[in-house]
Amino acid sequence: MKFARPLAFAAALMALPVAALAESTMKLASATINDVQHEWQKVFAAKMAETAGDAVTVEIYPTSQLGAIPRMAEGVLLGTIEAFTTPTAFVTGIDQRFEAFDLPGLFTDGDEVAALIADPEYRDHLETLFLDKGLRIIGAISNSPILMLTREPVTSLAEIEGLKVRTFASPLQMEPMKALGAQPTPLALSEVTPALQSGGIDAMLAGMPILTAFKYYDTARHVTDLNFSQLVSVTLVNEAWFQSQTPEVQEAIRAAGRAAEAEVHQWGMDNVARANAAWTENGGQIHKLSDDEQASMVAQFAEVGPEVIAGKADVVAEYERIKAVLEKLRGM
């Protein structure tokens, strides 16, 4: 389902002049490359160059150039890295409210993720949700559906039992895998290939654009389209650094982030299709569970998700807020 994405806010902010002043550097870090996260960063940097001029120089550091994911998360918290783009599931250790975006079955597709982000009231809420941790969200995008890469073909739930599966360090990836009898193994992306090659893990959860960008088909050729969750990526900026900028620069950052969200969404959706094609063109195979087994897995995960967040009042509150917005949008 597709929803129109309002651009009035971003357009109005980007029309504001930015006074010339001493140059500030904004390092933008991520673990990936040539995916929708990287595309958002490139569009954001271009829009900042147009509106902020010499006031801010945006430098992009993909492929974990500034450290593994935990180090980049630590860096944006401490302010040694100004901004970090990542799926929410990688930063649940910073704040458990990030878990609210990762419940299985929450979104039907990437367009629903974009629709949530485009909702003006929710987007304003999202920007300031983590200010108590010293972080501001300046960008949020639909990333991709979750797939499972394996060294051997997996076409049934029984074949998942016993597999050592690389997951994000999020209970909402780890607990569903446990429910299927797998052994969840959180690893940074930079550690996955050697672990697959050595047999330290048997599988990994990821989106197809990551699998093709890093040429995982050279290590493991099989993918099972579990499609139980949508990855949501956010760009976190250190709030102390943000507040050190002039009001004009702050507004330019906010506007560039929101405009980039709108501009890259369709690129990201198309990139998933391109990645699927590239996977098979390079000898990879894409498997699916039977309809009955897919339905069984989804039903099982629908019970696991709420159990994981039960007792976490702030996570439940955010989850309920997201659900309410999605229900409103679905009724449009």
Confidence of residue 270 (pLDDT cuts 50, 70, 90): very high
CA separation for the pair 23, 276 (Å, rounded): 42
Q: What is the mean pLDDT of the chain?
A: 93
Do 132 and 206 lie in one domain? The reply is no
β-sheet bridge partners, residue 26 = 58
Do 52 and 71 lie in one domain? The reply is yes
At residue 72, the pLDDT reads 97
Confidence of residue 1 (pLDDT cuts 50, 70, 90): very low
What is the number of residues in the chain? Answer: 332
Instruction: Tell me the pLDDT tens digit for each residue of 127-140.
Output: 999 999 999 999 99
| Residue 325 in domain | no
| Residue 326 in domain | no
CA distances from 194 to 56, 79, 143, 170, 202 (A): 38, 31, 25, 22, 11
Confidence of residue 332 (pLDDT cuts 50, 70, 90): low
Do 79 and 110 lie in one domain? The reply is yes
Do 303 and 172 lie in one domain? The reply is yes
| Residue 331 in domain | no
Instruction: Tell me the pLDDT tens digit for each residue of 208-267.
Output: 999 999 999 999 999 999 989 999 999 999 999 999 999 999 999 999 999 999 999 999
Do 189 and 284 lie in one domain? The reply is yes
Do 186 and 299 lie in one domain? The reply is yes
Instruction: Tell me the pLDDT tens digit for each residue of 67-118.
Output: 999 999 999 999 999 999 999 999 999 999 999 999 999 999 999 999 999 9
Do 22 and 72 lie in one domain? The reply is yes
Instruction: Tell me the pLDDT tens digit for each residue of 9-49.
Output: 444 444 444 443 448 999 999 999 999 999 999 999 999 99
| Residue 252 in domain | yes
| Residue 295 in domain | yes
- Domain count across the chain: 2
Confidence of residue 169 (pLDDT cuts 50, 70, 90): confident
Provide the residue type at 323 as one letter: K
Mean pLDDT of 294-322: 96
At residue 15, the pLDDT reads 45
Percent of the chain's residues with pLDDT above 70: 93
Q: With contact defined as beta carbons under 8 Å apart, do 162 and 181 qualify?
A: yes
Q: With contact defined as beta carbons under 8 Å apart, do 157 and 296 qualify?
A: yes
Confidence of residue 168 (pLDDT cuts 50, 70, 90): confident
Q: What is the DSSP string of 53-114?
A: GGGEEEEEE-TTTT--HHHHHHHHHHTSSSEEEEEGGGGTTT-GGGGGGG-TTS-SSHHHHH
In the predicted structure, residue 143 carries a pLDDT above the cut 80 = yes
- Please state the pTM of the whole predicted model: 0.89
Do 191 and 254 lie in one domain? The reply is no
- Domain of 185? 147-229+275-312
Angle, CA 267 vertex, CA 75 and CA 100 arms, to 5°: 50
At residue 190, the pLDDT reads 86
Percent of the chain's residues with pLDDT above 90: 90
Do 255 and 292 lie in one domain? The reply is no
Do 205 and 236 lie in one domain? The reply is no
Do 164 and 225 lie in one domain? The reply is yes
| Residue 322 in domain | no
Do 32 and 133 lie in one domain? The reply is yes
| Residue 329 in domain | no
> Which CATH number is 74's domain given?
3.40.190.170
| Residue 196 in domain | yes
Residue bearing tokens 């917005």: 325
